[in-house]
Amino acid sequence: MPYIPNTPSDQQAMLDAIGVASMDELFAMIPEDLQLKRPLDLPHAMSELELQQHMASLADLNVGSGQAVSFLGAGCYDHFIPSVVDFVASRSEFYTAYTPYQAEASQGTLQAIFEYQTLICRLTGMDVSNAGMYDGATAATEACLMAIAATRRTKIVTVESLHPEYRTTLETYLMDMPHDTVCAQLSGGTADLSAVEEAVDDQTACLLVQHPNFFGCLEDVVKLGEIAHAKGAVFVVVVDPISLGLLKRPDDYGADIVVAEGQSMGIPSGLGGPGLGVMACRQKFLRRMPGRLVGQTKDRRENRCFTLTLQTREQHIRRERATSNICTNQGLMALRAVVYLAAMGPEGLKETAELCVRKSHYAMDALCDHTPCERAFDAPFFKEFVVRVPDADVFENVRDAASDGAVLPGVPLGRWYADLSDCLLIAVTEKRTADEIALLQAVFLGRDE
């Protein structure tokens, strides 16, 4: 038993304590055809020095936003992170903290979560926010489950402009539940309103849309909300938190439940995780909300203090009455988000959003006016846009540029959309400079800068 620091005598003592003669007898209940009858095929052990060198060489094969100019997006973005975020989040009382069950010992963690919930409510205009989901995809799915429970309906309507991996996550969650999922088609990079209106009926639990959508385009959320509410369906909107520095709050256009991927709020893109699932809703859905909520109260000396006030998951109440079995509040990621929002403030968030809009439009013009590519959709966009590259050789050269490590030029869309197999989704955040956009332009022109 390598890697387990038990001597043979330790193992025998444990076997004797449970009344089993041998390890073979301990695992006898495992069917013979599932038992491995040979040693594991592992390489020879390395020394500590050799292992460190080997792991470092493997890590060097990765190319992240710290080593290259990143125009990647599709839900994970290279935004600026103020230094104060790392400083606060790296304090030992935060990064070693776990679930804050004992309020008297967890006031710092509980207050941080309470402040996070407060800022998310102010950002979205919703009445209540929970302490965080795993990521944007699971938050969107949990919102649909809330709608099913609230309406006692089983039909969910989505649109093709919703992140395809969110749609896959939704189908996975609902695999063994009675449900009917309808995905309305696109029209020019946004939801086809007539198709959505046809799909939403009096059996629809919710309409789930993304704004800005997966392609970066802005949806007609006012009209979409009207379509949902006309049939008594819950209107669920996936947002980009940074966009709320400039766009209307979801409350202003009638959203009932708001979810988001919170990675853009002070969380490094890393290699795709961890993320932060943001969820907020109107007061009437409070009892349907999964996870935990932190509330403010007073102790016996009338001092302000914090405690968990709603824990509607299976670890706290009867399993059959639980709203969800989601079992984390992503506390450390929520802490990073609240420090980011507090440091940026309303004006900082607005400035960041404006820079994203201006720079992304500058980049789109630079590419579509001076390189062999064209804009795929005419709809207004926030910080992402789709370009079509009709020349197959140019498209392959742009894709291959990512392996060179200097520029990460965008996300190919063919893996999700067959009719967009010659398209790239390009994200431009406030960090990108004119020189970096010129470097991207050079990649499309097939030359080194």
Q: What is the CATH number of the domain that holds 75?
A: 3.90.1150.10
| pLDDT for the residue 402 | 73
What's the whole-number mean pLDDT along residues 56-75?
87
The helix/strand/coil state of 193 is helix
Return the higher-pLDDT residue of 432 and 93.
432
Whether 9 is in a domain gets the answer no
Whether 45 is in a domain gets the answer no
Are 239 and 373 in a shared domain?
Answer: no
| pLDDT for the residue 371 | 92
449, pLDDT greater than 60: no
Domain, as residue range, for 413: 69-79+345-445
What's the whole-number mean pLDDT along residues 154-166?
97
- The answer to whether the beta carbons of residues 279 and 139 sit under 8 Å apart is yes
Are 308 and 210 in a shared domain?
Answer: yes
Which of these three, 300, 324, 341, is where a domain ends?
A: 341
Whether 17 is in a domain gets the answer no
Which of these three, 324, 341, 358, is where a domain ends?
A: 341
Distance CA 69, CA 407 (A): 5
DSSP 8-state symbol, 389: -
97, pLDDT greater than 90: no
Whether 11 is in a domain gets the answer no
Are 156 and 260 in a shared domain?
Answer: yes
| pLDDT for the residue 66 | 76
Tally of helices (H runs) and strands (E runs) in the chain: 13, 17
The helix/strand/coil state of 228 is helix
Whether 14 is in a domain gets the answer no
Are 331 and 439 in a shared domain?
Answer: no
- Cis peptide leading into residue 241 (ω within 30°): no
**DSSP-H helix ranges across 65-209:** 83-89, 92-95, 107-124, 136-151, 164-173, 193-199
Over the stretch 376-435, which tens digit does the pLDDT of each residue have? Answer: 999 999 999 999 999 999 998 888 877 777 899 999 999 999 999 999 999 999 999 999
**Could you tell me the pLDDT band of residue 188, with boundaries at 50, 70 and 90?**
very high
**Could you tell me the pLDDT band of residue 108, with boundaries at 50, 70 and 90?**
confident
Distance CA 405, CA 68 (A): 6
What's the whole-number mean pLDDT along residues 184-211?
97
Q: How many CA atoms, within 13 angstroms, populate the side-chain half-sphere of residue 288?
A: 21
Instruction: Write the CB contacts of 193 (distance below 8 Å, at least 6 apart in sequence).
Output: 187, 220, 223, 224, 227
- The answer to whether the beta carbons of residues 426 and 385 sit under 8 Å apart is yes
Are 246 and 356 in a shared domain?
Answer: no
Number of structural domains, the chain? 2
304, pLDDT greater than 50: yes
Are 73 and 89 in a shared domain?
Answer: no
Q: Phi, psi (5° rounding) for residue 369?
A: -90, -20
Distance CA 176, CA 55 (A): 41
| pLDDT for the residue 291 | 81
Whether 282 is in a domain gets the answer yes
**Could you tell me the pLDDT band of residue 1, with boundaries at 50, 70 and 90?**
very low
Are 374 and 332 in a shared domain?
Answer: no
Q: How many CA atoms, within 13 angstroms, populate the side-chain half-sphere of residue 19?
A: 0
Are 313 and 360 in a shared domain?
Answer: no
CATH of the domain at 318: 3.40.640.10
Over the stretch 310-338, which tens digit does the pLDDT of each residue have? Answer: 776 555 666 666 677 776 668 899 999 99
Are 234 and 364 in a shared domain?
Answer: no
What's the whole-number mean pLDDT along residues 74-95?
92
Are 240 and 271 in a shared domain?
Answer: yes
Whether 32 is in a domain gets the answer no
Over the stretch 236-288, which tens digit does the pLDDT of each residue have? Answer: 999 999 999 999 999 999 999 999 999 999 999 887 778 999 999 999 999 88
Percent of the chain with pLDDT over 70: 93
- The answer to whether the beta carbons of residues 391 and 408 sit under 8 Å apart is no
Are 285 and 416 in a shared domain?
Answer: no
| pLDDT for the residue 401 | 79
Percent of the chain with pLDDT over 90: 72
110, pLDDT greater than 50: yes
Are 333 and 415 in a shared domain?
Answer: no
Residue 400, judged by CB atoms within 10 A of its CB (0-12, 13-18, 19+), counts as exposed
Which of these three, 287, 317, 341, is where a domain ends?
A: 341
Whether 29 is in a domain gets the answer no
Instruction: Write the CB contacts of 350 (distance below 8 Å, at least 6 apart in sequence).
Output: 245, 246
How many of the other CB atoms lie within 10 Å of CB of 190?
Answer: 24
pTM: 0.87
